[in-house]
């Protein structure tokens, strides 16, 4: 059954990204705390990172790529900073969340973690790879988890929309 909030009013590609991310909730590192596992290795390799690397950005970019969305590119995708920079220079960076968007966490000048926005109302909900269970913020977790995020969280740097505003109008 489709998610009730992913209605026809949501951009189809953005909805597909949210569904793809949600489908991987519960995927874990194998063995635990190794930054390895069949899917983790696949996401890192597909996005251009060595196996065993932190993988939040590889996961997020892989969800976009699997749904036909542009990304920073293989080799750049595994870096939170490179993804955020790419979103900025392509006009995708925003302070407003949208379904399917990247959500960047960190401190100004240093994106340390990234996930996918899967719901914006009535709660801001994300799916994040290489995340810790229980809502603990870390850049090196162990699974794909779903979270409810406080929209005023001091860790949120901003969002990367699937399409720049001009692209969204043309679609």
102, 160 Cβ separation under 8 angstroms: yes
Per-residue pLDDT of the chain (171 residues; tens, 9 = 90+): 678 999 999 999 999 999 999 999 999 999 999 999 999 999 999 999 999 999 999 999 999 999 999 999 999 999 999 999 999 999 999 999 999 999 999 999 999 999 999 999 999 999 999 999 877 777 789 999 999 998 788 899 999 999 988 765 555
- Position 134 scores a pLDDT of 79
Helix (H) or strand (E) holding 118: strand 110-119
Cα separation of 138 and 105, whole Å? 10
- Give the chain's domains with CATH numbers: 12-170 (3.90.1720)
* Residue whose C-alpha is closest to residue 100's, from 1, 169, 5: 5
Taking phi over 0 as left and psi of -120 to 50 as alpha, with beta for the rest, 130 belongs to left
Cα separation of 62 and 115, whole Å? 11
């Amino acid at each position: 059954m489709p998610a009730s909030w992913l209605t026809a009013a949501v951009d189809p590609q953005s909805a597909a990204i949210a569904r793809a991310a949600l489908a991987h909730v519960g995927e874990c590192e194998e063995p635990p705390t190794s930054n390895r596992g069949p899917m983790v290795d696949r996401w890192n390799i597909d996005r251009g990172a060595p196996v065993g690397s932190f993988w939040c950005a590889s996961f997020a970019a892989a969800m976009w790529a699997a749904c036909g969305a542009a990304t920073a590119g293989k080799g750049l995708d595994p870096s939170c900073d490179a993804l955020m920079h790419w979103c900025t220079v392509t006009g995708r960076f925003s302070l407003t969340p949208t379904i399917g968007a990247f959500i960047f966490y960190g401190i100004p000048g240093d994106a340390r973690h990234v996930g996918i926005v899967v719901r914006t109302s009535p709660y801001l909900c994300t799916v994040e790879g290489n995340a810790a269970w229980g809502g603990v913020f870390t850049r090196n977790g162990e699974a794909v988890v779903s979270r409810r995020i406080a929209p005023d969280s001091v860790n949120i740097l901003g969002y990367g929309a699937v399409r720049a505003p001009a692209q969204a109008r043309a679609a």
